[in-house]
Amino acid sequence: MENAIRQYERDWQSFNRIYQQMAVANDITFGELSMLLALESHKFYATNRQLVLDTGLSKQTISSMVQKLTQQEMMVLKTNPVDKRSRVITLTPAGQKWAGKILQAVHMIEERALEQVGIEKFKQLNKINAELIEKMEEQVKK
The 3-state DSSP class for residue 58 equals coil
For 46-79, how does the pLDDT look when each residue is reduced to its tens digit (9 = 90+)? 999 999 999 999 999 999 999 999 999 999 999 9
- Of 71, 119, 117, nearest in space to 95 by CA: 71
CA separation for the pair 66, 56 (Å, rounded): 15
The 3-state DSSP class for residue 100 equals helix
> Radius of gyration over alpha carbons of the chain, in Å?
17
The full length of the chain comes to 142
CA separation for the pair 88, 45 (Å, rounded): 6
Domain ranges (residues) in the chain: 2-141
pTM of the entire predicted model: 0.91
For 2-38, how does the pLDDT look when each residue is reduced to its tens digit (9 = 90+)? 899 999 999 999 999 999 999 999 999 999 999 999 9
Looking at domain 2-141, which CATH architecture does it have? Orthogonal Bundle (1.10)
